[in-house]
Amino acid sequence: MLRDGFHDVPPGKVAVIVTRLEMRAPPEMRAVPLPDGVSFHQVTPDRDWYRDIFRRVGSEDWLWYGRLLLDDAALDAILTDPATAYFTLRRDGRDEALLELDFRREGACELAYFGLTRALIGTGSGRYLMNEAITRAWAQPISLFHVHTCTIDSPQALAFYRRSGFTPVSQKVQVDDDPRLKGLLPETAGPGVPVFRS
């Protein structure tokens, strides 16, 4: 049991607070158009496409690293699973968003990953993409739509999910090896999270 007060994080580690949010019924949504020159696409991803968009959406600025821990076979198993679906927003011929829906648990959908690259942040594209996520999740026979966010995600993420109809239900503290010290990401990744060497 975690006691009240401060706790040292060992050198070489990253500690984050993970918040789980749930949606038990589709919310009312405000329709928004895509910005000019942006289009929505479903993707059949390969690992190169996925790792590239994952890094550009979440790793460079926010220190996403979960999928980077997977070897090729483990990542391929997720990407080729028929119970997962992938979508993006394309601008000037380049994919600039990641929406990953995971239906592998019966009766539920996890918003596994969601985000935009710098090219689309602030354009209203995030609201459009979330509307697509909600619509596509609830088009399936589910009773739960859920997502996790954490303190190494965008500072706007938690409030955005709440505005979208998700309700926070629990929090956990997660401690992992710092992915920058393991060579998974450059030390410039996640500039808001300091690196503490051993």
pLDDT digits over 135-175, tens only?
Answer: 999 999 999 999 999 999 999 999 999 999 999 999 999 99
In a domain, 130, yes or no: yes
Give the pLDDT score at 133: 98
The percentage of the chain sitting over the pLDDT mark of 70, rounded to a whole number, equals 100
pLDDT range class, residue 13, cuts 50, 70, 90:
very high
Which one, of 112, 23, 12, 131, lies nearest residue 64 by Cα?
112
pLDDT of 76 strictly over 80: yes
Q: What is the dihedral of CA 79, 47, 123, 187, to 10 degrees?
A: 120
Whether residue 18 is predicted with pLDDT greater than 90 in this model: the reply is yes
Q: According to the model, what pLDDT value does residue 198 have?
A: 74
Domains contained in the chain, number:
1
Residue 63 has pLDDT above 90, yes or no: yes
Q: What is the CATH number of the domain that holds 87?
A: 3.40.630.30
7 part of a folded domain: no
- Please give the structure tokens belonging to residue 196: 């503490």
Does residue 188 sit within a domain?
A: no
Do the domain assignments include residue 125? Answer: yes
Residue 168 tokens, joined: 């926070």
Q: Please check whether residue 144 is in contact with residue 23, taking contact to mean a CB–CB distance below 8 angstroms.
A: yes
Q: Is residue 198 part of a domain?
A: no
Helix ranges (DSSP H) in the chain: 47-54, 60-62, 72-79, 125-138, 157-163
pLDDT grade, residue 5 (50/70/90)?
very high
Round to whole Å and give the CA distance between 189 and 60: 5
For residue 122, the model assigns a pLDDT of: 93
pLDDT at 3 over 90: no
What residue numbers bound the domain in which 74 lies? 13-27+38-177
Maximum C-alpha span of the chain: 52
What are the E-state strand segments in the chain?
13-23, 38-43, 84-91, 94-95, 97-102, 108-116, 144-150, 167-177
Q: What pLDDT band is residue 44 in, cutting at 50, 70 and 90?
A: very high
With respect to residue 3, please indicate whether it lies within any of the assigned structural domains: no
Q: pLDDT confidence of 14, banded at 50, 70, 90?
A: very high
pLDDT at 1 over 80: no
Quickly state the pLDDT bin for 97 (edges 50, 70, 90): very high
Mean confidence (pLDDT) of the chain: 96
Per the domain annotation, does 108 fall within a domain? yes
Q: What's the DSSP call for residue 9?
A: P
How many CB atoms lie under 10 A from the CB of residue 127?
Answer: 18
Q: In this structure, is the dihedral angle defined by the CA atoms of residues 125, 87, 48 and 62, taken in order, positive or negative?
A: positive
**Separation of alpha carbons 159 and 41, rounded Å:** 26
Measured distance CA(109)–CA(143) in Å, rounded: 8
94: in domain: yes
Place of tokens 């895509």: 34
